[in-house]
Amino acid sequence: MTTVVITHEGGFITGFTASGHSDYAQEGEDIVCAAVSAITQTAMMGLQQFESTTQAHWEAGDDPILSVKVLRPSHDTEVILRTMVIGLEDILSGVPQYVRVIHKGTEVETT
């Protein structure tokens, strides 16, 4: 299962970590994994383009992981990250057995 943990602080989304394989299909043919990767990597690139204080870390391998931290959250970073969440929740609505989205740091943490 692919898991995306979204971190909230002070009313802003301040980062996320995406990890694991969805196991929807074989490696190289897994459209769920590809969709989550495309959405999270596009958010990372948008943050890096418009907010120079964003830190990102990527590890490939058997258990790939992408971790992004926004050091100075703003309206612009929030728009980018909320758009990412919309895309992830759309995938989740179609294939909930392959993707998990966890929100941390909100008043009510959700999975």
Domains of the chain are: 2-104 (3.30.70.1490)
Helix (H, G, I), strand (E, B) or coil at 53: coil
Mean pLDDT on 13-36: 92
pLDDT of residue 57: 75
pLDDT at 32 over 90: yes
**Cα separation, 88 vs 59, whole angstroms:** 20
Q: Which residue has the higher pLDDT, 52 or 107?
A: 52
For residue 98, the 8-state DSSP code is: T
What does the pLDDT look like over 92-103, one tens digit per residue?
A: 999 999 999 999
What does the pLDDT look like over 71-86, one tens digit per residue?
A: 889 999 999 999 999 9
In sequence order, the β-bridge partners of residue 99 are 2
> What pTM was computed for the model?
0.88
For residue 26, the 8-state DSSP code is: S
